[in-house]
Structure 1
Amino acid sequence: MWKLTRPDNQHDKLVRDNLLDLEDHHLVRIEAVREDQRQVWVLTKRGHGEAKKLLEPKGIRVSALREKKYDPVTGKLLGASYDDHAAAVTSTAAELHRAGIGHRLGFQTEVGHRLADGYVQRADLVVRAPQAGVPVMLLEIDRRSEDAHDLVQKLRRYWEWGRLLPKDAAKHTVDLVRSRPGAIEDVDHELRLWRRVYPPTGREGLVPLAFVFADTTEAKVDNTVAVLEEAGRRYWAPRRYDSLYPKAVTARDYRQAVPVVVTTLEQLQEHGAGAEVWRRLGRTGEQTLTAALDNPDGHALYRAQEARAEAEDERRRAAEREARRPVCTRCGRKFTDERWEEITVHRTAVRAGDTSVCGPCRADDVARQEAAAEAARLEAAAPPEPQDGPEPGRGRGWFRRRT
């Protein structure tokens, strides 16, 4: 706690004096002494009860009581086997806090994540630092006491936990997930269990996970990271987007992946947690934490590339269509869209006339046809001209001679 609450204080006399005072009141006890002669203090049963009364009403979680354990033969008080690990966890939290990543009351340790088979995967440390661009991140602190493949299994369990539904999930959602393998990927993250526990990360994917290695060599870290990258690829690696333009879209789909970053406690202590000391699995080089967690080749790039590819495809199709546009055999003009449609659609093609001429030429033909038809109609409607009769004088002369 001294490292977390007073990270820049090189002398712990004030903290030691307070601990001694608490010890006099039977609220704390020394559990172990580390190799560097620093003492590991823990709460007694009485102190644990007092801490719960003080902190839990304020929403601050208190860790489980560390009970005394004695050697069955000698009766000597035994220290916990993970005191060095606990110190590494606290030191990691202190370095994050020193860099402005997380409030000192924004850290939780030993947070359980129950899987479908009942197994509980406990995170060594959980930090919530929305103001630093890290709304939530899980941390596993490894002093190389675990095999690299054990860390892969931890990664798998966090990935599986991120795919669970809450117990009160809607029936149609449960039925969808049970219908086929991988159907959970069609369920929005807002409907999954992890969103009941943690806030949105502000990025694609599941809850970020960090592996912090401590008290080990650079070679061992490199070997462990290589195993994580290869054996754990299914859980951290993004996928290709299912796009209509696969050659144009190089973005990656991170929505079902666990963002995994790695660093060492020694780097955090030397350079600070805000420096470029974090490496994202699948990338080369080290970045700041927020840069490592961001996905510059993710969904934002996908939307931009998809839009550009779609626009380019529309331009290409428009150019190809324009190249196919008919040209009037009479005047040489290109057909309008209306005339082109008129000669190609079956219901209008039967009345389109000469399909090799454009709209204006077709209008001229129609005008001539209508003019000819009108002339014929007028001619047919005109009264007949009178027939030629006999000459008048000649007829009268005949009658005159007969009388």
Structure 2
Amino acid sequence: MDPSITPSAPRCQGPGVPAGQDRRTGGRRRSDNPLVQRRPTHRKNSTGPRRRELLQALGIFQRATPDQLWKLTRPDNQHDKLTRDNLLDLQDHHLVRIESVRDDQRQVWVLTARGHREAKQLLEPKGIRVSVLRKEEYDPVTGELLGGGYDDHAAAVTSTAAELHRAGIGHRLGFQTEVPHRLADGYVQRADPVVRAPAAGVLALLLEIDRRSEDAHDLVHKLRRYWQWSRLLAPDADKHTVDLARFRPDAIEHIDHEKRLWRRLYPPTGREGLVPVAFVFADTTEAKVAATSSYWPSRPSAGGEL
């Protein structure tokens, strides 16, 4: 037989040994089957502090992407890889779950019922309101898990808080979303997030997040409602002060701020004046700017810049 066509291995092998392979003495290994699910070697169990941070953040903001959670918990890290690894570990412990995947392929994470209970234990003793649990809903026909909507406004609110925290403004536990401020006529003005200093309970500012979906008139009305709310008297104000404000509306300007409702809810901030309110314009595009240019015309500054 021509050596060039001689088989590279004996034709006969022992039972169970493929041609061309030596007999194994150590038994079968998991790596023999590439379809077997294996835990990635880079995954490590989340530590106590990281577990607590993620549960607290999701307890406050309800839903968030790994990028947002990274900036809300460990902004000093270079990227969100460690956050993603810790989320996967918390998922293994049935504390968090993926609710949906956004158009940019970022996963939206929420708490499970078990994780929500643990977040309550971490937040409620500190006087922090826990967001409502996002329940799992299934398609009645297919039985598939339905992904909840993570609307652009909710995403912008969380992203704003994340960027502020990353910039050193506010603490992770100092944010609260959808805070109600009830006016005298019963109307409730809700601040998107409120930034507070958690150690002293001091207000930093009220934030309104606008995605260029409201015109200037709507924003002015919001400012006026905050102004009206800041003029309300505290429930325990004396009768003379109440009568003065009722029969002489202009007299409220001369009533001590200590007797106002807002000073009972938000302790002094170290600055004069009423509750500070800031507008954040998120997701701004050239098209949105052009559509609202009549309301927000650009004005050159003293240096000539817009």
If the length of structure 1 is used for normalisation, what is the TM-score? 0.50
Shift of 1:226: 6.8
Task: Classify the secondary structure of the residue corresponding to 2:220.
Answer: helix
1:26–1:47 Cα contact (<8 Å) kept: yes
1:4-403 equivalence runs, <5 A: 4-68=72-136, 77-82=146-151, 84-128=152-196, 135-217=203-285, 220-221=288-289, 227=295, 284=301
Conservation of the 8 A alpha-carbon contact between 1:108 and 1:125: yes
List alignment gaps of at least 5 residues for structure 2. 1-68
> CA 1:130–1:108 in 2, change beyond 3 Å: closer, same or farther?
closer
CA contact (8 A) 1:101 1:129 kept: no
Displaced runs of 4 or more, over 6 A: 71-75
Larger RCO of the pair (alpha carbons < 8 Å, separation 6+): 2
**More helix by percentage:** 1
Aligned residues: 232
Separation (CA, whole Å) in 2 of partners of 1:167 and 1:11: 48
Residues 70 and 79 in structure 2, CA contact (< 8 A), matched pair in contact too:
no
Larger mean Cα displacement after TM superposition, 54-63 or 136-145: 54-63
Equivalent residues of 1:93, 1:107 under 8 A apart = yes
**Contact kept in structure 2, 1:102 and 1:127, CA below 8 Å:** yes
8 Å Cα contact 1:124/1:140 also seen in 2: yes
In structure 2, give the amino acid aligned to 1:6: R
Residue identity opposite 2:241 in structure 1: T
Structure 1 gap ranges (5+):
230-278, 287-403
Percentage of pairs with the same residue: 78
Measured after TM superposition, the shift of residue 186 of structure 1 is 2.1
Q: Is the 8 A contact 2:215 2:295 kept in 1?
A: no
Q: Counterpart of 1:211 in 2: which secondary structure?
A: strand
CA distance in 1, matches of 2:263, 2:290: 33
Q: Could you give the per-residue CA deviations for residues 228-264 of structure 1, whole angstroms, max 9, x where no partner exists?
A: 89xxxxxxxxxxxxxxxxxxxxxxxxxxxxxxxxxxx
Q: Which amino acid aligns with 1:55?
A: L
Structure 1 residues 178 and 22, CA gap change in structure 2 (3 angstroms) = same
Relative to structure 1, is the Cα distance of residues 33 and 145 closer, same or farther in structure 2, using a 3 angstrom cutoff? farther
Separation in 1, partners of 2:243, 2:287: 48
- How much does 1:23 deviate? 2.2
CA distance in 2, matches of 1:47, 1:144: 35
Amino acid at match of 1:188: D
Larger radius of gyration: 1
Query: How high is the TM-score relative to the length of structure 2?
Result: 0.65
> How far apart are the structure 2 equivalents of 1:73 and 1:182?
62
The RMSD of aligned alpha carbons is 3.3
